[in-house]
Amino acid sequence: MGNNLTGKIPSLAGLKSLEKVFVNDNGFTSIDADFFTGLNSLQFVNLDNNPLRPWKIPFSLTNATSLAVFSAAICNLSGKIPDFNWRVTFPNLTALELSGNSLVGELPMSFAGSSVQILMLNGQNLSGSISVLTKMLVLTEVCLQENRFSGTMPDFSGRLTSLKLFNVRGNRLTGIVPYSLIGLKSLTDVALGDNLLQGPIPRFVAKGIRFDGRGLNSFCVDINSFCLDSCFTCDMRVNALLLIVEAFGYPVIFAESWKGNDPCNGMWVGVTCTGADITVINFKGMGLTGTISPYFAHLKALKVINLSHNNLSGTIPQELTELRKLKALDVSYNQLSGLVPDFRPNVVDTRKIVASVIGSLFGLLLIGFAIFLLIKKKKQYHKMHPQQHSGDQDALKITIGSLHNGKSESGRV
């Protein structure tokens, strides 16, 4: 390592007794896909800082079952991190360092239960959830900064009790920083800046902790969507809205728009106020998934709730009937089920919405049954009158209104 060696890294395949490979900080430009074949005693690998042509972690690495440290940072790795069943294949792996490459895709779920203590994957194009971290119980250092990870922060409750460094800066994480992370006493360094995190700025329990690499008491709030710039509780209306969108998985559309501590002062998407009261929630057609939160009931001044044209499931919460000023509730064009709560007479009857969908479905079933009988009858007729078969193949045309897009769709039988 640390020379000016160039060309291909020579193949070491078959060297069964080889334990260590250090070729880092050179000018190597290629590596064979079978490089690790037969290296079942290999424990330490460092390929860092080589200008290799784009390459992927080869399947031959699974031969190195004694691997303890695999470091391939800044060496033009591409593709996905293979799902090698890391826990079983590499039972002794303690450090996986792949920073500064061009890796894409999600973290393999087979990281769960692995022996990895140091995970460094920063500075590339990895995406998806980071929830698998909570199943990597011996982690001490996590560097995932400057990627494209999204979704919420996972629940660390009772897990990762040895975690010291946690850096997820520069991603697309949303939602509230969970207390299960805030309360980890083992933490010494935390970096959460340049995300879309919401709610109050967290006040970590650990003493002497460094925030975003800027020293004590300098928590970096840039780009995040925290309600305040200090560790105080959010406005109760903000808290209610965050509880509502928690049931949707804290979508990015809200994290990008909901800034500050006053939802009635600014452009909070989907929120309309009268004075200081939130009176209308309009989340129509936002591509939402998840369930309808009972925490809508915390916004006592609500008059209109429109959640139509999404992909929500579950039931309509009974708590919504407590909204005394509610006049309209639209939950049509979702995937809801169960009974509709009893709303007061002045509320636009949601049961009609549900009933109309059920009625339309029933109507389609009846039409389908009628078509079946007509086809069956037509086939019987052609059997009895084969000479007339060729002349009326397009005789029956059925037009059915689509439930989901409101347009008319035609089909021939």
* 353 domain-assigned: no
Q: How many angstroms separate the CA atoms of 34 and 57, rounded?
A: 10
Residues 270 and 406 in one domain: no
Residues 253 and 323 in one domain: yes
Residues 42 and 191 in one domain: yes
Q: Give pLDDT, residue 407.
A: 35
Question: How many domains is the chain partitioned into structurally?
Answer: 3
* DSSP result, 276-337: TEEEEEE-TTS--EEE--GGGGG-TT--EEE--SSEEEE---GGGGG-TT--EEE--SSEE-
55 DSSP 8-state letter: B
Residues 294 and 183 in one domain: no
* 366 domain-assigned: no
Strand pairing report for 69-71 and 304-306:
unpaired
Residues 130 and 257 in one domain: no
Residues 62 and 115 in one domain: yes
In tens, the pLDDT along 343-359 reads 988 787 574 444 444 44
User: Could you tell me the pLDDT band of residue 386, with boundaries at 50, 70 and 90?
Assistant: low
Q: Amino acid identity, residue 395?
A: A
* 231 domain-assigned: no
Q: Pick from 202, 226, 250: which residue ends a domain? A: 226
Residues 332 and 387 in one domain: no
In tens, the pLDDT along 33-80 reads 999 999 999 999 999 999 999 999 999 999 999 999 999 999 999 999
Q: Pick from 226, 251, 279: which residue ends a domain? A: 226
Q: Of 156, 86, 153, which Cα lies nearest the Cα of 119?
A: 86
* 43 domain-assigned: yes
Q: Pick from 198, 226, 254: which residue ends a domain? A: 226
Domain harbouring 251, CATH code: 3.80.10.10
In tens, the pLDDT along 189-223 reads 999 999 999 999 888 999 888 887 665 444 555 66
In tens, the pLDDT along 124-145 reads 999 999 999 999 999 999 999 9
Residues 36 and 185 in one domain: yes
Q: What totals of helices (H) and strands (E) does the chain contain, helices first?
A: 5, 27
* Structural domain range at position 51: 6-226
* 364 domain-assigned: no
Contact between 67 and 88 under an 8 Å Cβ cutoff? The reply is no
Mean pLDDT of the chain: 86
Residues 220 and 249 in one domain: no
109 DSSP 8-state letter: G
Q: How many angstroms separate the CA atoms of 96 and 142, rounded?
A: 10
In tens, the pLDDT along 296-342 reads 999 999 999 999 999 999 999 999 999 999 999 999 999 999 999 99
Strand pairing report for 397-401 and 408-412:
antiparallel
Q: Give pLDDT, residue 345.
A: 84
* 205 domain-assigned: yes
Q: How many angstroms separate the CA atoms of 257 and 36, rounded?
A: 49
* 26 domain-assigned: yes
Residues 282 and 220 in one domain: no
Residues 79 and 23 in one domain: yes
Whether pTM exceeds 0.85: no
Residues 124 and 215 in one domain: yes
* 28 domain-assigned: yes
